[in-house]
Amino acid sequence: MPKMTPSHKPFEIRDCALAAVATGVKAQNLKEFCDAIGKIEPESIYYHFWGGLLKPRFDDPEYHNDFAAWASHALHDKILAERLSVLDPSEIPDLEKIRAELIDIIEERLDENEYVPWCKRDQQFHFITSQIVVFDTRKTISKANELVKIIPSLTSSSIFYHFIDARRRTFGNIDDFSSWLYGFADKHSDLCCLLATIDPFFSTLPELKSQIADIMKEYFQGGEK
């Protein structure tokens, strides 16, 4: 677990939006796809893994990242799609390591095929990059048990910022709630361990908020800690 200097600074609630920006890079076959993944900026990889959480969805996605979805629906390669879909970026916070994993999986599949899989022209993969825009809600909390009330009131994009995007910013690649709680020395280390059991990648943001809220409620149920 991360060891930090105790601090009792207020927790500042933020919200965010993930702005999508076209890169102009596209791929029509698996070789072009592999080459592009080797060159695109890390923020594009981030977007194609995490950006879907902030998009409106009306049904459960079959795949949890854009790369796997394209392999299935455009290339009609279910084997590749399944291999790409098991990559969990919450377990690999380093985007360059995720890039390397993607390339290894795709190159292995290219070696297995007698020909390079192609898609129709109107099904090309268009690489998108992203820029996170952060908003100050002007809301703060100073006591750990205030998390019980504040979590249910947070927007989905606020949950995204504090529980997912935080892993790129914090010491130990943890969520903002845990990072703040470690500032109380070891007082809430058990709560941090409980939060660490949540895998944010395979849940919707409302489901993720519910999981966090339930953990907070149960932990603080006995009164102020």
Q: Are 30 and 109 in contact (CB under 8 A)?
A: yes
Q: What is the 3-state secondary structure (H, E, C) of 89-158?
A: CCCCCCHHHHHHHHHHHHHHHHHHCCCCCECCHHHCEEEEEEEEEEEEEEEEECCHHHHHHHHHHCCHHH
The answer to whether 111 and 120 have CB atoms below 8 angstroms apart is no
The pLDDT of residue 163 is 97
Decide: pTM greater than 0.95.
no
Q: Do residues 88 and 106 touch, judged by C-beta distance below 8 A?
A: no
Which tokens in the block code for residue 175? 């969520």
146: nearest Cα among 95, 78, 216: 216
Neighbouring residues of 146: CB distance < 8 A, sequence distance ≥ 6? none
Q: What is the reported pLDDT for 6?
A: 46
Angle between helices 95-112 and 42-50 (to 10 degrees): 80
Q: What pLDDT does 59 receive? A: 53
pLDDT at 93: 82
CA distance 144 to 192: 12
Query: pLDDT tens digits, the chain, 225 residues: what are they?
Result: 444 444 568 999 999 999 999 999 999 999 999 999 999 999 999 999 999 888 766 555 788 899 999 999 999 999 999 999 999 999 888 999 999 999 999 999 999 999 999 999 999 999 999 999 999 999 999 999 999 999 999 999 999 999 999 999 998 999 999 999 999 988 999 999 999 999 999 889 999 999 999 999 999 986 656
Query: What are the backbone dihedrals phi and psi of residue 202, each rounded to the nearest 5 degrees, phi first?
Result: -100, 25
Q: Give the pLDDT confidence score for residue 202 in this predicted structure.
A: 87
Q: Report helix angle 95-112 to 78-85, nearest 10.
A: 160
At 92 the pLDDT is 87
Contact 151, 144 (CB under 8 A): no
3-state secondary structure of 176: helix
